[in-house]
Structure 1
Amino acid sequence: MLITIPDVLDANQLALCRRLLQEAQWEDGLRTAGYIAQRAKQNRQLALDDPIATRLGDLILGELGRNQSFIAAALPAKILAPRFNRYENSGHYGNHIDNAVFVAPGTAQRVRSDVSCTLFLSDPGDYEGGELTIEDTYGMRQIKLPAGHMVVYPGTSLHHVTPVTRGARVASFFWVQSMVRHAHQRAILWELDQSIQEIAMQTDDPSRLARLSGVYHNLIREWADT
């Protein structure tokens, strides 16, 4: 299940991100690459303990905590602190699947990467290439969203970033351990949630929604691990 979430950040928040990231000290992305990724990854990233990464990561998490679409799509139990990367000068990232488990920096807490997230911070017109290309049930999907928009997709997905041949592609990326581990179950819950919301807009009678809402919550009760 691949879901686009629009307007996670507004224009003022994006301006702040761009200003701070313009001043940031970027380092070679290979510093956080594993053995396989060493041969596929060519980008730059902020250090995990960079104060700018911490500040902007807190901003993003604060907005996501109020974003009902994100909550319904990911059903988050744990969220790894957002990271930041930059692709330019033909930078790219070859086909890979993200690590299954990450350790939250500075802690012993482990986060399983059920859901992968990419929040675009550069407008599509600012760069050429740089499509996030995800392999799913229906083939290859190329994602290049407006600044402030985000895509969430299963962490099990094979994906890559195509070379950036002009300009710079800047984004935030992170992972979520979901209360509902399996992607097909999250997809069912997402579709059910969207249907409930659509029906709610068409009626003022809450009794018509009671059974359907009950099914939704009973499925979460059946599938969730908190």
Structure 2
Amino acid sequence: MNPYKVVSLDMFQTLVNIEGRRNRIWKPILQQDFSEARALELAQALLNHYFAQAAAIRDAGSFCTSQEIYRSGFEKVFHEHRLSFDCHEAVDILFAEHRLSGLYADTRPFLQKISEAYQVCIVSDTDTLMLPDFYKEYPIRLFTSEDYGSYKNDGLNRMFTEVIAYYGVQPGEILHIGDSASDVLGAARAGIRSCWINRTGSAWNHAGQPPDYTVGNLEEIYAILEPGVHTAHT
């Protein structure tokens, strides 16, 4: 018998690919000084700040929206690299490009198939304004950090407990699929089975409980959801 009633999904790098939009974020900022190498350097600096600040906020038991964290990150990057650009406008550009992120080829077929057989939700550590709205075409419930003032793997673990409460099922009846350590570790702490989608073939090198399942794409998840498949594998 299939143990799962709910399929929970991360958004970025699970259903949609932001990589193709990154250069577009920096073109209007750098203008005539734009180059792919320069954009890559600044994008990495911004991400480093985002992850460091998000971790500090999470460890302090506090919360800030993605908009607030990215605005602070742009301020720091612009100062360090002597760039003159409005950080609020930069955040608007970044959010707009995230909304334009392209779907992976396996996303629509996967959503169509599982939404016919399961209750489906998206759980994302972002502001709602940052998300593409294709999910509205399906019977999908959205849970964002902005709405709940929490992150997937913070001390409260509210994101996943809210999912459990909303559907009124046992944690083990939910399968969460995502590309980050927060997806796996946060789900595990709530008793939810985790599936790490590893599209790049990376090694799992994070402390804590490893994923119950590892897949390279969404199509491989069908085998996990088939009745009688109970064995966890990585």
TM-score by length of structure 1 reads 0.28
Which protein is richer in helix relative to its size? 2
Which protein is richer in strand relative to its size? 1
TM-score by length of structure 2 reads 0.28
